[in-house]
Amino acid sequence: MGSPSMELRRQHLIDPAICIRCNTCEETCPRDAITHDDRNYVVRFDVCNGCGNCVPPCPTGAIDSWILVKRPWSVEEQLTWDDLPPSEAGEPAPAEQPQPDEVAAIIETATAATGGRVPPPFSAAHPYLNIYTRERPAVARVAGNHRITDPETESDIHHIVLDFGQQAFPVLEGQSIGVIPPGTDAKGRPHTIRLYSVASPRDGERPNHNNVSLTIKRVVTRDADGSLRPGVASNHLCDARKGDEVLVTGPFGDSFLMPNHPDANIIMICTGTGSAPFRAFTERRRRRAPDAPGKLLLFFGARSPGELPYFGPLMKLPPSLIDVNFAFSRVAGQPKTYVQDKIRERAADVGALLQSRDTFVYICGLKGMEQGCEEALADVCRQHGLNWSDLRSGMRREGRYHVETY
């Protein structure tokens, strides 16, 4: 007789709570294993061979969901879901290819413990999800669009305010929205939806207004032949004028949320436009609980002060509200500094905070920073007699460690 685990099968699913319904997976799948209706994108168990081609292009990671099941979920069942069901095993679904790096292994172990992903902080408010879709988007109007980086520099980053008028658009700090760029791609297909973190708190960019702000970097890539290709969505937004229409989907995200309780210490680590959710967190604290006992500790990396979004406003925040640590990598005459260097410099304070169950860590920004931050946090832990690997697993399980990199 086989062991009970032999009866379990590994099923590829799409997490409906995270998916932004951008259609990228359906376009990518070489076997046509992915389908959708108005509500969800789903994977046909009998057609999917687990090739994984759809995983890297997915902008949210919703596609990278695998659970162990005794009976595979049908397409019809998946189409009714708001959340993934739990795995029917106490362990994560084994990957087809073993993941080489330790980070991935730890993420998998921790997410298995929570039925698929890191939960939100226990005190986070309940998020609304997927109210607006590609088929039924919210129509927002641009209420403001300002460049917030020095015009002399390469980094063209805009602070853009979108107003939803009479349409309800409830959003929490840490959530994202999707933007549908107008027009079609070179093959005549609608452009894929791009995801942006909201930079304003839940009660609006202007308090009690039905609007949100975004932090958008104008993207221009260079093709192999040397020609420049403007990023479709970022240029659509950065060029938008007051009153222009923007089609919006979402809101998205039910994990990277702000803890609501005032005792929460929040360590925020970001580069560039990864600062957007932390502007939202900070503004929420400033408006609602400026004297909260919980600390806000920010590590923010940019090339120079002129290329750091919100540099001016951040400099004006009182130290009693937030402890700001900038890391500049390209300032003439100064050593190149990354956020991980600043974390090490502040090891005493970071280490003290990490020992509290009320401490929440968030990392948002360039993909490359994740590894460096992990190493810095591991160093800090060693200095304090803590084991980072164990601590991180526990923090993930408790919704206290969140990473969003791109």
Q: Which residues bind ligand A2P (CB under 6 A)?
A: 155, 271-272, 301-303, 307, 329-330, 338-339, 366, 368-369, 372
Torsions phi, psi for 97 (to 5 deg): -105, 130
Least distance from C-beta 119 to ligand A2P, angstroms?
27
Nearer to ligand A2P, 33 or 237 (CB): 237
Nearer to ligand A2P, 21 or 342 (CB): 342
Nearer to ligand A2P, 33 or 302 (CB): 302
Nearer to ligand A2P, 284 or 342 (CB): 342
150 and 234 in contact (C-beta within 8 Å)? no
Among 318, 321, 398, 405, residue whose Cα is nearest residue 360: 398
Nearer to ligand A2P, 329 or 393 (CB): 329
Question: What is the helix, strand, coil percentage profile of the chain, to 5?
Answer: 25, 25, 50
One-letter identity of residue 226: G
Least distance from C-beta 149 to ligand A2P, angstroms?
9
Per DSSP, the three-state class of 375 is: helix
Burial profile 87-125: b = 16 or more Cβ within 10 angstroms, e = fewer: bbbeebbeeeeeeeeeeeebbbebbbbeebbbbbbebbe
Compute the distance between CA of residue 135 and CA of residue 128 in angstroms, rounded to an integer.
18
Nearer to ligand A2P, 27 or 154 (CB): 154
Cβ-Cβ contacts under 8 Å for 280 (sequence gap 6 or more): 173, 174, 197, 198, 199, 200, 201, 258
Torsions phi, psi for 8 (to 5 deg): -85, 145
> Which residue is at the shortest CB distance from ligand A2P?
368
Least distance from C-beta 377 to ligand A2P, angstroms?
13
Least distance from C-beta 274 to ligand A2P, angstroms?
8
Among 55, 47, 45, residue whose Cα is nearest residue 12: 45
369-383 helix and 388-397 helix, angle to the nearest 10 degrees = 110
How do 228-230 and 245-252 pair as beta strands? unpaired
Nearer to ligand A2P, 4 or 368 (CB): 368
Nearer to ligand A2P, 289 or 366 (CB): 366
Full DSSP string of 227-281: -EEE-HHHHHHHT--TT-EEEEEEEE-SSS----STT-EEEEEEEGGGGHHHHHH
